[in-house]
Structure 1
Amino acid sequence: MRKRSSSSGSEPLKVAFKLAYVGTDFSGSQSQPGRRTVEGELRKGLVEKGIIGEKTKVEFSGRTDAGVHALGQVIAFVPKNDKLTEPRIINSVLPADMWVYAKAVVPDDFDPRRHAVSRTYRYLLYAPDVIERRIVTYSQLFPGTHDFTNFSSVEPNKNPVRTVKSISVTKRGDMYVIDIEADSFLWNMVRKIVTGLRLVGSNKRPAQWIEQMLKPDEYREGIPPALAAGLYLMKVEYPGVEFLEEEYSKGRAYQRMLHSFEWQYTMAEVYGEFKDAMK
């Protein structure tokens, strides 16, 4: 990445933000005509506030599908006015289910997708039928460089080889917290890995099945992706980029989520009691 060459100091500097959103009511992150998307809502607010122009490019670190959430999505753009790029100002024109909370001034050629060195996704899997020892053990077959054709929805002309840097599985009651870090991900890759882990973890597939699936030139099988609701983009790493978190914006987001959390937690308990009553 190169530094801005302008010596006048009057041109707005390119800025990057950490963007969070609850993906339930979004048709994915990328703009789609006639659909509510993260990019669409973000651009609408930024343009209305005069932070960017109609044709200003807003770059994302990557796409998320319909129903998928993000805590550490990264966006970048060159604003019309540096003074309007504080997170609290941007949040004033965003809907309640998305917000920015950290900012960095970046070089003018910074690309949040190309310059990312790793991405980490977290999946929250409710799976009381899974054997902890099995899902933890077989999760360690995924780190390394593999052809993930069987664990993704491969797009035409897309290289299916990816390098998984690490994967961890932690049990939390009947929930499994699955963190996967990779250089980059294929479409539905995390959700299909989760499906695979659930299948071996519940003894619905034999021990050697994952090893077979990682050799698509020898063995092919289509499996469905796990539910989108359990997945979120946790963080994206960049060398030399330091984000400064704004405590005010974090505090406002926390307060907004308290009411939603109380309602969702209460409903989960209601559903649990109804489920138990129907056994």
Structure 2
Amino acid sequence: MNLAFRFSYFGDRFFGSQMQPLLRTVEGEFIEACRRLQVFDDWREANFVTAGRTDRGVHARGQVCSFSTDRPERAVRALNQVLPADIWCTAWAGVPDGFHPRYSTASRTYRYYFFSPGNAAAMHEAAQEFLGRHDFSAFARVGDRSPERRILAARVFKDGPFTVFEVTGESFLWNMVRCMATALERVGRGEAGAGEIARLLTAPVEQRIPAAPPEGLILWDIDCGVSFAPLPIDEKSRRYLADRYRYHALMAEVSACLAPDDRWPDTSRI
């Protein structure tokens, strides 16, 4: 049977999501949990694949993976009990042959949480410049890929101590959302306006916008056309989630009191 799982993770203690030898990664931990449960032996034969990659330090609320197994009931019942506390499945679904979480996805939504306060109204207005299809060479590491991407929705709003940038697109380039976040943060500090973002989307690229720190980025949702059935979160993950939320809320309050150059503490060892 082919299964798809929607799952979440905190990226603080992972070397990114993609499996790498001798390093702790999200895919590596997920595959190891499936092996321990004997859901599958070889991830290649099981066609284990995720909807996309996230960099070191980036979090996910709605990542999706799929694989085939002869023991679907065991996977659905026990995966959350075996996964480490900083990864937890939130829903599952049976999917047809040929389903691929990356290529079956119509859109992806990311949120970037700013620790520092900013003018959310001005940032929201500037974020509308991203809508539509544009050349994002100034806002991403393009490499040998096409720099054009289509943005379907963008907004900036307040959420407790955070200012949040939410963006939905058909697909994204490497570091694209984090570079967009840097540009919007400059707007929020009064250092640039919406016109500067419009210029960067149309003018020849002189220098790429630097990427904002990864700790603020969350892969929020993936629209892959699947109706998922919810799963209960394991208690160890529930405690871990509450602890990390308190920590990041505290960092937002602390960073608001710091000088601009000191806003982003190093969380890699926490």
**2:68 partner letter:** V
Cα deviation code 1:217-272 (max 9, x no counterpart): x3432221111001111110123x210002x3266643442344445556766x46
Over alpha carbons, which structure has the higher Rg? 1
User: Residue 115 of structure 1 is aligned with which of 104, 108, 113?
Assistant: 104
TM-score with structure 1 setting the length: 0.85
Cα deviation code 1:164-212 (max 9, x no counterpart): 0000100246521111000011100100000011122323235422111
- Quote the residue 1:202 is aligned against: 189
Gaps of 5+ in 2: 260-270
Asked whether the equivalents of residues 53 and 80 of structure 1 are also in contact (C-alpha less than 8 Å), the reply is: no
**2:148 partner letter:** V
- Quote the residue 2:132 is aligned against: 144
- Quote the residue 2:266 is aligned against: none
What are the within-5 Å matches in structure 2 for residues 177-192 of structure 1? 177-192=164-179
User: Are 1:244 and 2:233 counterparts?
Assistant: no
- Quote the residue 2:78 is aligned against: 89
What are the within-5 Å matches in structure 2 for residues 191-270 of structure 1? 191-216=178-203, 218-239=204-225, 241-246=226-231, 248-249=232-233, 253-262=237-246, 265=249
User: Residue 60 of structure 1 is aligned with which of 43, 50, 70?
Assistant: 50
User: Are 1:78 and 2:63 counterparts?
Assistant: no
Asked whether the equivalents of residues 115 and 251 of structure 2 are also in contact (C-alpha less than 8 Å), the reply is: no
User: Are 1:175 and 2:162 counterparts?
Assistant: yes
**1:136 partner letter:** H
Q: 1:251 to 1:34 in 2, by over 3 A?
A: closer
Structure 2: how far apart are the matches of 1:137 and 1:253?
Answer: 37
- Quote the residue 2:147 is aligned against: 160
Asked whether the equivalents of residues 161 and 249 of structure 2 are also in contact (C-alpha less than 8 Å), the reply is: no
Asked whether the equivalents of residues 50 and 80 of structure 1 are also in contact (C-alpha less than 8 Å), the reply is: no
Structure 1: how far apart are the matches of 2:20 and 2:68?
Answer: 23
Percent identity reads 35
Structure 1: how far apart are the matches of 2:245 and 2:156?
Answer: 24
C-alpha deviation, 1:17, in angstroms: 0.4
- Quote the residue 1:3 is aligned against: none
**2:170 partner letter:** D
**2:32 partner letter:** K
User: Are 1:19 and 2:3 counterparts?
Assistant: no
Asked whether the equivalents of residues 125 and 194 of structure 2 are also in contact (C-alpha less than 8 Å), the reply is: no
Structure 1: how far apart are the matches of 2:257 and 2:180?
Answer: 31
Gaps of 5+ in 1: 1-12
**1:160 partner letter:** P
Q: What secondary structure sits across from 2:90 in the alignment?
A: strand
Q: 1:267 to 1:210 in 2, by over 3 A?
A: closer
- Quote the residue 1:10 is aligned against: none
**2:242 partner letter:** L
Structure 2: how far apart are the matches of 1:183 and 1:99?
Answer: 25
Structure 1: how far apart are the matches of 2:150 and 2:257?
Answer: 43
Q: What secondary structure sits across from 2:82 in the alignment?
A: coil
Structure 1: how far apart are the matches of 2:79 and 2:161?
Answer: 38
The number of aligned residues is 258
Asked whether the equivalents of residues 29 and 37 of structure 1 are also in contact (C-alpha less than 8 Å), the reply is: yes
Asked whether the equivalents of residues 68 and 229 of structure 1 are also in contact (C-alpha less than 8 Å), the reply is: yes
C-alpha RMSD of matched pairs (Å) = 2.3
TM-score with structure 2 setting the length: 0.87
Structure 2: how far apart are the matches of 1:200 and 1:107?
Answer: 45
- Quote the residue 1:8 is aligned against: none
